[in-house]
Amino acid sequence: MAPPSPVNLLAVRLRGSCRLAESHRSEPQKEMGNGPGGIGALAVNWKMHSAICGCGELLEVWDMASKGEEDTTAPQRLQILRGHTQMVTAIHVDWAQGLILSAAMDCTLRRWDLRSGELLKTFPVLSGEIRCMSLVDDASVVTGDERGNLQVWDLEGGLVQRVLTAHKVGAAGSGQVWKIGTARL
Q: Which amino acid is at 56?
A: G
Characterise 69 by phi-psi region: left (phi > 0), alpha (psi -120 to 50), beta (else).
alpha
Domain that holds residue 77: 8-124
Same domain, yes or no, for 145 and 74? Answer: no
pLDDT at 31: 62
pLDDT at 111: 94
- Flag whether 106 is in a domain: yes
- Flag whether 158 is in a domain: yes
Same domain, yes or no, for 112 and 75? Answer: yes
Question: Could you give the number of structural domains in the chain?
Answer: 2
Q: Convert the pLDDT of each residue in 82-126 to its tens digit.
A: 999 998 989 999 999 899 999 999 989 999 999 999 999 999 888
Q: Whole-angstrom Cα distance, residue 83 to residue 89?
A: 14
pLDDT at 178: 47
Q: Whole-angstrom Cα distance, residue 72 to residue 163?
A: 47
CA angle 36, 38, 41 (to 5 degrees): 135
**pTM, two decimal places:** 0.74
Which regions in the chain score pLDDT beneath 70?
1-37, 66-74, 166-185
